[in-house]
């Protein structure tokens, strides 16, 4: 969460409030490993399809649908605020992808269809003709 708050600060969002539902995906037994390291031990592994291995007490791991429940809760809190104007959300990596596809009304596994958000880039979620859309992704 400290990384997200620092990102918000660097973006000039001085009134950012931490939200535990925006914590990055808990990778459980895969915490700290790269996808290449995981695939070396588990050929063909795909996070979106295969999920994570159980971890320890500090990182028990979350399955994709658990992450989706958290992002849905965030979106439920955000939607009423949109009538007052734009809302900024600072999130990283896979969680941002899950949040985005849930905004679009897609299954959380559709997050695999979005490129990984690059550090320091922006994504813009919008409503066009009454339908949720992504108006920009990975904008420097």
pLDDT of the chain, 140 residues: tens digit per residue: 888 888 889 889 988 889 999 999 999 999 999 999 999 999 999 999 999 999 999 999 999 999 999 999 999 999 999 999 999 999 989 999 999 999 999 999 999 999 999 988 999 999 999 999 999 999 99
- Nearest 5°: CA angle at 15, between 122 and 76? 65
Domain ranges of the chain: 64-139
Beta strands in the chain (DSSP E): 122-128, 131-139
pTM of the model: 0.94
CATH level 2 (architecture), domain 64-139: 3-Layer(aba) Sandwich (3.40)
């Amino acid at each position: 969460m400290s990384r997200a708050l620092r990102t918000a600060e660097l973006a000039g969002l001085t009134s950012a409030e931490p939200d535990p539902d925006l914590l990055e995906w808990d990778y459980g037994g895969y915490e700290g490993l790269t996808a290449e390291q995981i695939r070396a031990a588990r050929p063909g592994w795909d996070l979106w399809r295969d999920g994570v291995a159980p971890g320890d007490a500090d990182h028990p791991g979350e399955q994709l649908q658990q992450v989706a429940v958290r992002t849905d809760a965030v979106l439920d809190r955000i939607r009423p605020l949109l009538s007052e104007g734009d809302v900024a959300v600072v999130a990283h990596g896979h969680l941002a992808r899950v949040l985005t596809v849930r905004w679009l009304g897609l299954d959380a596994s559709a997050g695999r269809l979005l490129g990984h958000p690059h550090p320091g880039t922006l994504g813009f979620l919008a409503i066009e003709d009454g339908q949720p859309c992504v108006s920009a992704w990975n904008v420097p």
